[in-house]
Amino acid sequence: MTVSRSIPRVDEYLESVNTRLDDLFPANASTTLERAASDALSGGGKRVRAILALLWCEVFGDDYKPALPLAVAYELAHASALIEDDIIDQSPMRRGKKSIVEEYGLSNAILASNLLLFHVPKMLAEYRYLGSDRVAKLFDQLGEACRSTTWGEFLDLELAQKDGGSEREYEEMIRLKTSTLLSAPSIGGALVGGASESQASLAGKFGELLGMAYQIQDDALDLQGDERILGKPIFGDLRQGKKSLVLMHCTRRASSDERDFLTKLTNRAGAYTEDEISRVRGLLQKYGSIDYARERASSYISKAKKVLATVRDCGAKTTLAEMSDFLASRYS
């Protein structure tokens, strides 16, 4: 289920962002590198980061269009990060299609990631009219988000090598890996819309809380979702030994034999059998691990809505609330 199907009002935002992205990297580009970049951008993503930037700009400025360069910048950065994520995870699929590294090879994937990322400052340069102080804040926010995401990816890999791991470590990892790239465009959009620094901080807090809920749900879907709907292989985190709230909750409650079974499934090549998948899901149900993760995600959404309640009533605020409900309740 897409954001636009659940929240029809975002169609205009999506069309505006997609048009700008298509202009930058058209699908019929003459070079393999540009086509790889175009494919990375046209894979059916939800454009959550872009939409957040546009909505928060509209909240404070009554118009979303000034935030379009910023929204595009964050989509470029996100697409770049996804290419690298698939390289690191050796993932053959992304959103139901071959990943960029699988389709174009490692060298082209690395270069496509760079091409997308290095175009980001060019988008932010369009804000020279805002004045040096505000433009500097936009660059600083983006740089900090990219730094945090890189550090979060490292912590994700490091946590996978540890025996056990705590929920606190997991939540710090997803805050860096995921939440900062929802918080930063929210802050940036608010600043472009004319928000004060304190108002922009509220927008950033909303994005951070939304990101926490989003990643917890995404990890749960990796174990419980339908591979045909998700567009990527299930059990990817388990296969790579990565930690998630769901697996931590289940493993702590499992018997010794059950933990041994789960451990044998990690870092394993080849497909899982239907019996293995069924047994894992049976354990998650037995110990209420999926429900636990969804309750935690819902608690973050509740906090995000409390932040949103402090903002003036407007159409953009209503759409932000609807996005919160969508991201918290998605099961595909």
Convert the pLDDT of each residue in 39-92 to its tens digit. Answer: 999 866 789 999 999 999 999 999 999 999 999 999 999 999 999 999 998 888
Q: What is the pLDDT of residues 251-282, one digit of tens each?
A: 999 999 999 999 899 877 778 899 999 999 99
At residue 228, does pLDDT exceed 70?
no
Query: What is the pLDDT, as a whole number, of residue 4?
Result: 52
pLDDT band at 235 (very low <50, low <70, confident <90, very high): confident
- Which whole number is the average pLDDT over 130-136? 94
Q: What is the pLDDT of residue 31?
A: 95
pLDDT tens string 289-312: 999 999 999 999 999 999 999 999
Checking if the pLDDT of 103 tops 50, the result is: yes
* Structural domains in the chain plus CATH codes: 6-329 (1.10.600.10)
Question: Per-residue confidence at 238, pLDDT binned at 50, 70, 90?
Answer: confident
Q: Which residue has the tokens 């490692």?
A: 106
Mean pLDDT value of segment 133-159: 94
**Residue 70 confidence (pLDDT):** 98
For 175-216, how does the pLDDT look when each residue is reduced to its tens digit (9 = 90+)? Answer: 999 999 999 999 999 999 999 999 999 999 999 999 999 999
Please indicate whether residue 9 or residue 184 has the higher confidence score (pLDDT): 184
